[in-house]
Amino acid sequence: MDSLKFVAASVLLGSLLAGTAFAQSPTYGVGRTPTPDELRRMDISISPDGHELPPGRGTVKEGAQVFIQKACIGCHGAGGVGGLAPNLVSKKSGDNVWKQDRVLPLRAPYATIVWDFIHRGMPLGLEGTLTPDEVYSVTAYLLFLNKVIPEDMVLDQKNLPKVKMPIGDEYGKPPPEFKLNTPRLEGYPY
Amino acid sequence: MDSEQKSRRALLKTGAALAGGITLGAVGKANAQSANPPTPTSENASPMIHGSKELIEYGQRSKYVTSVRIAHPLGGRPSPDVFGKVFHVASPLQDSVGVITPSSLHYIATTRGSFMPDIDPKLHTLTLHGEVDRPLTLTMDDLKRFPSVTRLHFIECAGNRHNGKQRTVQETHGMTSCSEWTGVLLSTLLKECGLKSSAKWFVAEGAEEVKGASSIPIVKGMDDCLIAYGQNGEALRPQQGFPLRIMVPGFEGIYHTKYLRRIKVTNQFYMNYNEFGHLTREDKELALGERIGPKSVITYPSGTQRLPGPGFYEISGLAWSGGGAVKTVEVSTDGGKKWNRAEFKNTPQRMAHVRFAYPWKWDGTETVIMSRTTDDIGQRQALREEIAEWWKVPFERDYRVPGLDNSVMPWKISKDGSVTNGLA
């Protein structure tokens, strides 16, 4: 072992003993290893299968309360319509989903997107302050207003990914496989 | 200008330092009485811009250069809106020269209309995690220690569509811009982390209030994605993602996550809010909605400009492609009957604007000018009529090109030299 490697190994060992994992990148030796707890707090991306969803539950009724208490109503309007911020309820709910307004919950193929967006981006200026239960309940409220779930449904981390969205199961696929240096669409001359 | 004014200017130029405490009126009067006026060649006809702390520290353009960005008229929302958010802002291509868009004039689009975060770079970090062997958190200082690359790349918004209602090239095509970007290749960082074989996609997430995120194929990430901290020789502008953004060369603008704080490598496609916006019924349209097709537009002469009269003009424009480097550009000055090879003003580079030009003698008759381009992977820019034919739909005036609109843009030149939208 050359002296540089020995120093690096000693520093690494010392860091581990001290309880802080300062493992660095192998080639350039730059940066640090985030702790599992940091990663848990940071990782707000919810996959279609919802495996990252935190435990929690919420009802439509609770959601209606949270919508008022957390001032969602101030921007989005009573019942999610008529405010300065985007409408949250389609005016044409029940019609063909492709003809409906591009309202947040409706054309999404996974209910997890609704949860994910409220969790990461709302309320304006106080993002990240809603508890998981509050996010489940507001999600339930908005899905109910858009006639996606019944009024008595209790949403939790297990049943949210299984909610049938109006768009159906056919959509939400990734774009066609990306291949380097190939035209966008095979057979498309332009 | 009378002689008193002239001589006063000359004195101001040559004698200001000497004049010291003498009042301007006194100087002018004294000079007017001089029997030995300065020769015309020594005259400076323009007033002087006085040096100031601001001008020494960070320069600014001439007050006579007034080219500005505009809130994109078809952006769907005003910018700024009632909350102070900015959604879509278009670059003044009609005034552009060369290929670099000045950072101050780079087009802007935000994730569904978001605020611009005021990020302290000392506190900003990028974390890479997910389907990797070694998650990594990097400060801005850390990132600058990695080997860097500097590349010219365009970014174009998916909403950069032209139609007959728009008047200027800023309105038709202003949602594209090109800069020199400096940073670290994402592949350099992912190799440090060690990709697992399960890695198929990655999610790039920003730090703005809605934490805009996009899913990008890992194949693209390992090819040419760039974690950029520099733009046109300086740090990124806040409107372009200060202190860090990802460049996904050739993909539509929304993938180029600004305020980049996290890369999550995943084993499946994550449908983020951004992807929800890409949903379409047609698989083929989906395929045409990820990468920018080969595209070009004439920026001079263009809509609302006016040719002063018949004679020589250098038709000039921009061409680019999300598939690679631009290979050829052709210009037609007779409504598409004859196409002539344009020349390049710079060497075409992958996923970058190239400036093309075609020398033209206008005879004063009414005509339509347009350009079309091909790229080095064999794609070509088509007329709307051709695209409609391929999709087997009747061509109408307001035909909407499926996917991203990279169709040919015609400009009509009237007898009086006025230039208008050829789609109108």
Q: What is the pLDDT of residues B45-71, one digit of tens each?
A: 788 888 999 999 999 999 999 999 999
pLDDT confidence band for B75 (50 / 70 / 90): low
Contact flag A175-B380 (C-beta cutoff 8 Å): no
Contacts of A1 (CB under 8 A, 6+ apart): A9
| Range of the structural domain that residue B169 is part of | 113-279
What is the C-alpha separation between B225 and A99, in angstroms, rounded? 36
Angstrom distance (rounded) from CA A82 to CA B374: 48
Same domain, A95 and A69: yes
Q: How many domains does chain B have?
A: 3
Q: Are A28 and B192 in contact (CB under 8 A)?
A: yes
- Decide if B102 is inside a domain: no
pLDDT tens digits for range B101-146: 999 999 999 877 788 999 999 999 999 999 999 999 999 999 999 9
The mean pLDDT value for B201-207 works out to 97
**In terms of pLDDT, which residue wins out, B325 or B42?**
B325
Q: What pLDDT does residue A107 have? A: 78
Average pLDDT rounded to a whole number, residues A165-189: 86
In a shared domain, residues A133 and A80: yes
List the end-to-end C-alpha distance of chain B, in Å, as a whole number.
46
Range 125-154 of A in CB contact (< 8 A) with B: 125, 127
User: What is the rounded distance in angstroms from the CA atom of residue B25 to the CA atom of residue B12?
Assistant: 11
Among B249, B279, B309, residue at a domain's last position: B279
A48 and B271 within 8 Å at the Cβ level: the answer is yes
pTM of the complete model: 0.88
- Do A110 and A153 have their domain in common? yes
3 state DSSP class of B314: strand
A28 and A114 together in one domain: no
**Number of structural domains found in chain A:** 2
Is the domain of B321 the same as that of B228?
Answer: no
Q: Does A115 touch chain B (CB under 8 A)?
A: no
What is the ipTM for the molecules in this complex? 0.85
**Integer CA distances (angstroms), B156 to B141, B256, B384, in order:** 29, 10, 20
User: Does A33 reside within a domain?
Assistant: yes
Q: Look at residues B244, B279, B314 and tell me which one is the last residue of a structural domain.
A: B279
pLDDT, average across residues B373-390: 96
B267 shares its domain with B333: no
A33 CB neighbours in chain B (<8 A) are 134-137
A155 and A72 co-located in one domain? yes
- Chain centroid to Cα B303, Å, comes to 18
- Residue A65 pLDDT more than 70? yes
Q: How far apart are the CA of B142 and the nearest CA of chain A, in angstroms?
A: 6
Tokens 């020769």 locate to B39
**A105 to chain B: which residues are within 8 Å by CB?**
none
| Set of chain B residues whose Cβ sits within 8 Å of the Cβ of A98 | 281
Domain interval for residue A20: 3-42
Chain A residue whose CA is closest to B288: A184
The percentage of chain A sitting over the pLDDT mark of 70, rounded to a whole number, equals 82
Q: Which two tokens stand for residue A180?
A: 């380097």
> Is the domain of B133 the same as that of B273?
yes
How far apart (Å, rounded) are the C-alpha atoms in residues B278 and B268?
A: 17
Most A CBs within 10 A among B137, B222, B268, B373, hence the mutation to make, goes to B137
Place of tokens 């020589």: B312
On whether residue B92 sits in a domain, the answer given is: no
Range with lowest mean pLDDT among A31-45, A175-189, B74-88: B74-88
Of B123, B129, B217, B203, the residue nearest A41 (C-alpha): B129
Q: Is the pLDDT of residue B100 over 50?
A: yes
Q: Mean pLDDT, to the nearest integer, of B227-242?
A: 98
